[in-house]
Structure 1
């Protein structure tokens, strides 16, 4: 799976809220909301945000994919 797909899956997750992701990663809730709703394009995300979100996804992969 690629990084963009990981981030998309994370932001669309019902298991972990964007609020919790924001608190755990330090990325502003509004920024996460913009990516989740498509207002901002994940492919244009700041590199540090992409790294943080991908690492967060990988750390929580078992929780995020339990319903797949």
Structure 2
């Protein structure tokens, strides 16, 4: 007796509906824009002086936390 395998996957209509829904959700997220807080963080990361300042502050905090113990 020959077995027939059931093919998995979604038909074209279901794939199309999922694609439309995903695009609608993505478009909504894009329209919301970047929150001011994130935009400020990105601006700071793009500024080498800000990154160096943050790294120095982090090192100082870590040293204080360890009480000089490494």
Fold shared by both chains (TM-score > 0.5): no
The structure with the largest helix share of the pair is 2
- Name the TM-score, length of structure 1 as normaliser: 0.30
Higher relative CO (CA 8 A, sep ≥ 6), structure 1 or 2?
1
